[in-house]
Structure 1
Amino acid sequence: MSEDLKALKDELTAVKAEIYRVSAEAEIRKLHFKYGYYLDKCLYQEVVDMFSDCPDAFIEFHGGRYRGKEGIRRLFIDRFAKKFTQGRNGPIHGFLLDHAMLQDIIDVDKDGKHAWGRMRTFMSAGTHESIAKDNPRGLVQWWESGIYENEYIKENGVWKLFRYRYWPFWHADFDKGWSHTRDEYVPFPKHCYPEDPMGPDELVERTNLWPQTKVVPFHYLHPVSGKQVKEEDMRAPLLGQDHMMSDPSLSLDVPLWDGTTGIHGH
């Protein structure tokens, strides 16, 4: 009887753990989708408030890593809000910035307090012709797509954004298409904060802009083989060229940082 009771308790423990895992995955999925809806309408303060207060939190964006709540605020408030809405928190008439979030894969660590998420975003953006003459950006319309490989942590009982890695994959002018995308469609940062008041805390060599097609690393192993994709298979050589002739693969690793600015490698 005691053995049956122990087996029942073990089964109950396993069921509770599975329910927690599934529930956490659903909560994190909603968390990221809410982040996307806030971005749609330039609600940048709401985005910043979703991030962890941990000093190890960051967001990687277009060749820069913005560290801690201060760095994250510098990207969303000092850069994006000033660039798109002249400092307003919220939308402006005639400006489109829709972020569709797709193909989400969420994995919660065994400790139940840390998770990974991989998503694709597809963005349509631009200005309406009725406001073009008064908008500093003029009449523009473009497409953008990219991959997120993110980390989340449970902080004081609440799931929060922790480490966000956004790899924009391609941009395209609406009328010309992706075959004619110019280099650095969105310019990479050249200087760090405070030399650049809106710059990142670090420059990172993790760019992957079209026509580059390197694989953004997967946080998970292959579901059948249990293996990670080979490093050479994650590169993108020219057709018929050896992979060693191409740029190095990307990485999810976080280099140690001593608080100084500069370029950190892969």
Structure 2
Amino acid sequence: MTSDIEHLKEVVAQLQKEVTRLSDQEDVRKLQYTYGYYLDKCLYKEVADLYSDHPDTCVEFLGGRYNGKEGVKRLYVSRFAKSFVNGRNGPVHGFLLDHPQIQGIVDVNAEGTRAKGRFRSMMSAGTHDSIKDTHPRGSVQWWEGGIYENEYIKEDGVWKIFRLKYFPFWHATFEEGWAHTKPNYVPFLSKTYPDDPNGPNELCENPMLWPDTRVVPFHYKHPATGQQVADDDLRAPRFGEDPSTSAPPLVLSTSKSEA
């Protein structure tokens, strides 16, 4: 009888651990989906509040890295709000920016304190004809696709975004599509803060944009083989050429505590 009870206790403990892991995974997915809903409606203060207060917190965007909670606010509350909605928190009439967060793969560490997630985004954005003379973007509509490889941290029992890394793979005009995207269609960030008051703290190495098709490294291993994808297989040489002729494989940044 005693051995049966001990066995049942072990089973219950294992089940509790698994339930907690699955709950954490769902909480992280919900966090990322919430980020998408807020960002779509230009609720930049709410977006910034989703981020951790950890000193290694950052967000990477268009070749720039914004460090700490202040850097996060500088990107969303300053740069984005000023560019899209004239500095307000919330949408403006006639401006569209929809980018669903999809295909989420989330992995939580054994301690239940950190997590990593990969998500895809497909964006449709632009301005309505009725605001083309009043909005700074004028008359514009575009497509965009990108990959997130993010890190999350649990603070006081609440999951928050720790290090968001967004790689916008491609942009295209609605009228002509991605086959005709001009080089440097969306220029990478080139000036850092404070030279650019709304700029990043530092610039990232080897930023990429369509037609560059290098693979953003996967935070997870192959589920069947247990192996990481080889670096050369993440590169994107021209058709028929050796991988060594292409740009270097992308490398995900790490926090100072992991370096």
Q: CA deviation at 1:253?
A: 3.2
Q: Is the 8 A contact 2:56 2:255 kept in 1?
A: no
In structure 2, the gaps of 5 or more residues are: none
Q: Is the 8 A contact 2:42 2:91 kept in 1?
A: yes
Letter in structure 2 aligned against 1:153:
I
Letter in structure 2 aligned against 1:89:
N
Counterpart Cα distance in 1 of 2:96 and 2:26: 28
Counterpart Cα distance in 2 of 1:201 and 1:4: 59
The residue aligned with 1:5 is: 5
The residue aligned with 1:189 is: 189
In structure 1, the gaps of 5 or more residues are: 258-266
User: Normalised by the size of structure 1, how large is the TM-score?
Assistant: 0.94
Q: Does 1:144 align with 2:162?
A: no
Structural mapping, 1:44-193, within 5 Å: 44-193=44-193
Counterpart Cα distance in 2 of 1:206 and 1:60: 13
SS of equivalent to 2:8: helix
Q: Deviations over 1:165-188 (max 9, x none)?
A: 000000000001001112222211
Counterpart Cα distance in 2 of 1:142 and 1:118: 24
Shifted more, 74-83 versus 183-192: the winner is 183-192
Q: Deviations over 1:8-34 (max 9, x none)?
A: 111111100000011111111111111
Q: Is the 8 A contact 2:148 2:167 kept in 1?
A: yes
The residue aligned with 1:33 is: 33
Q: CA deviation at 1:82?
A: 0.3
Q: CA deviation at 1:4?
A: 2.2
Q: CA deviation at 1:206?
A: 4.1
Counterpart Cα distance in 2 of 1:239 and 1:226: 29
The residue aligned with 1:261 is: none
Q: Does 1:22 align with 2:22?
A: yes
Counterpart Cα distance in 2 of 1:60 and 1:10: 43
SS of equivalent to 2:137: coil
RMSD: 1.2
Structural mapping, 1:183-262, within 5 Å: 183-254=183-254
The residue aligned with 1:263 is: none
User: Normalised by the size of structure 2, how large is the TM-score?
Assistant: 0.97
Counterpart Cα distance in 2 of 1:216 and 1:147: 7
Q: CA deviation at 1:240?
A: 0.7
Letter in structure 2 aligned against 1:117:
G
SS of equivalent to 2:100: strand
SS of equivalent to 2:25: helix
Counterpart Cα distance in 1 of 2:46 and 2:186: 24
Counterpart Cα distance in 2 of 1:186 and 1:158: 35
Report the count of equivalent residues. 257
Counterpart Cα distance in 1 of 2:79 and 2:2: 64
Q: Deviations over 1:44-98 (max 9, x none)?
A: 0000011001111100001000010000000001100000011010000000001
Q: Is the 8 A contact 2:56 2:256 kept in 1?
A: no
The residue aligned with 1:260 is: none
Letter in structure 1 aligned against 2:135:
N
Q: Deviations over 1:112-134 (max 9, x none)?
A: 01111100000100000011011
Q: CA deviation at 1:3?
A: 2.5
Q: CA deviation at 1:5?
A: 2.3
- Distance verdict in 2 for CA 1:255–1:116, change over 3 Å: closer
Counterpart Cα distance in 2 of 1:231 and 1:208: 16
Q: Deviations over 1:177-232 (max 9, x none)?
A: 00111222221111111111111001001422110101110000000000000011
Letter in structure 1 aligned against 2:254:
V
SS of equivalent to 1:130: helix
Report % sequence identity.
57
